Structure 1
């Protein structure tokens, strides 16, 4: 039978699905890895007959912070709902870089067409905004050649830009303030994705997908940190086509995934320096954009599988969320009730209501 600990978890989750989020009558397509049970028993009144602690009342409200302090388990993703496409009234071949803007309750997305005739410095991007259930254009085509988007501690939008091979603070009026575009005198290849630490440090990946023959670091593809003093520090210069990147909730662990089908861990020390800390997981396929929820679970877009893999901070695979029908490219967490996973794909954007509040303080 199920252990007391697992029974408590499931009842708390059931309570949260009633009190913390909207109900869902359909099950998502999820492949789960379930923990083994024990011989402990609970009687009909909810009392542990083995002498353990009473099982919590399933009707008791569960706060988002309580959910975030619970241990990660497959039960957290047992009923995430079904991916719902958010129709985009524009035609694009590719969507990337979603970021949730907590202060305006809106989603930004980079969008472009690889077949665009002006392609040459990376594809010219249109940045779209989804707010109050409606899409609008945040910045017109070609003003920025953006890929990954993030928000800094001052609620400013920071972008990984392939048009000028740099990181920059960007605004809807088309202005940009370059934050850095080179290392050791060489241009970056094509900054791809980024995440911002609360002290202002920006961690980013630099593959060479959109370099388009321009001067850059060439075959040297890596992960870097850009300090608040605008000093570029290498984190790992040996990763093959690094792509998605994310921070743990306590900002002591950095995750980076890439073309070799692995998600790497790096410890961030108190002085800000990083050091390799092994491999979180090996999905076996190219790892695209990533996000981390308040419990420390890592959501990784796996394009070839048209899926989002969810891993516990220990590396245990919690679920494989599918049903998108297109190659997944990136993930953002947020929503008004802090329980929405936004997923970009090849030309489409989806949202999925998860069964728990996943980001009580917003997402990066």
Structure 2
């Protein structure tokens, strides 16, 4: 049985610990995280962000117990959200009607990015082992959409988006085969880390080949621009903008966002006004010299996690306008809910949510 809000509120502290131990996805503390309205966790960095904040809405923790939460995708017909728990090799399901959090698929080939196609089917990036992009049919059957390019295996499909014309776009960095935590360590076969397009005819094309470990991606509302996170951007993680032609060709590469505060841009979504809602946290960069920590010398982070963890919102010109502070680093997010205005945030061990005054561009 999945943990529900009613279950959590009805058990005491000792029972909560026992429940969390027995259920890897049990709640660790009550929600909402802040009792005051407006929630101090929602920071307005520019007056233009004020209209997106709902005064009587606060950040809620819906579930916890994952090892690295990623790839949330919302399915409005059944009102549930899927989220990958990569190191645990499973996809979890949050049912917003029953307020339950259960295992949807295990094993899941270290699934990372998920999305919904125009017919309501699940599209998944299997991050390791199989190293492929698959579609789950309505009857549960799995259809392989891409696993090789030019006769060689893909690296580790990471994030995925479906364009209105039915084409599927995904990134293919190395994370899932770099080690044995988010997958199984293997040698790459591709010479570059690419962004691919699967045509409606099933043909796979490498659209962008000049990014080092491309990560999250999303289209502008008019789909004329494709935004892509470069994980190994120089000197910082970046979001690049490309013009996309009708035939899928990419051109006019422009750096839209530079995470100059030692932040880690990851997965993101674009709202109907063209704003980019980006998973954010520390990029792990260390200071050049050690500091005294608890009586010993240690190399500390350049950017404090407690200042960076959350969701950073940029306007279409790349200016930061808002920040949602979270107690954990946010890797990816998705808009959902009956009205499309509930922001789901997959954040390290937990799933959080916040109602906002906007919705996805898709």
Counterpart in 2 of 1:25?
A: 37
Q: CA deviation at 1:333?
A: 0.8
Return the TM-score normalized by structure 1. 0.73
Deviating beyond 6 angstroms after TM superposition, the runs of 4 or more aligned structure 1 residues are none
Shift of 1:215: 4.5
Note the C-alpha offset of 1:280: 1.6
Shift of 1:145: 2.8
Between 1:145-154 and 1:126-135, the stretch displaced more is 126-135
Classify the secondary structure of the residue corresponding to 1:214.
coil
CA distance in 1, matches of 2:101, 2:49: 37
- Measure, in 2, the Cα distance between the counterparts of 1:127 and 1:229: 31
Post-superposition Cα deviations, 1:99-156, rounded to whole Å, max 9, x if no partner, equal 11122222111124x3xxxxxxxx6223323231422545332144311100111111
Q: Aligned ranges for residues 1-364 of structure 1 at < 5 Å? A: 25-34=37-46, 73-77=48-52, 81-88=57-64, 91-112=65-86, 114=87, 124-137=89-102, 139-162=104-127, 163-170=129-136, 175-211=141-177, 212-217=184-189, 220-259=192-231, 260=233, 261-284=237-260, 285-304=263-282, 305-322=308-325, 324-354=326-356, 356-359=357-360
Residue aligned with 2:176, SS = coil
**Bigger radius of gyration, 1 or 2?**
1
Superposition TM-score, scaled by structure 2 size? 0.73
- Taking a change above 3 Å as real, the CA distance of residues 171 and 303 of structure 1, as seen in their structure-2 partners, is farther
Structure 2 CA distance, aligned partners of 1:84 and 1:250? 32
Instruction: Tell me how far 1:220 sits from its aligned partner.
Output: 2.0
* Structure 2 unaligned residues grouped into runs of 5+: 1-35, 178-183, 283-307
Q: How many residue pairs are counted as aligned between the two chains? A: 288
Between the aligned partners of 2:193 and 2:41, the Cα distance in structure 1 is 35
After superposition, the CA RMSD in angstroms is 2.3
Q: Aligned partners of 2:167 and 2:273: how far apart in 1?
A: 22
Find the residue that maps to 2:63 and give its secondary structure: coil
CA contact (8 A) 2:152 2:190 kept: no
Q: Which has the higher contact order (CA 8 A, sep 6+)?
A: 1
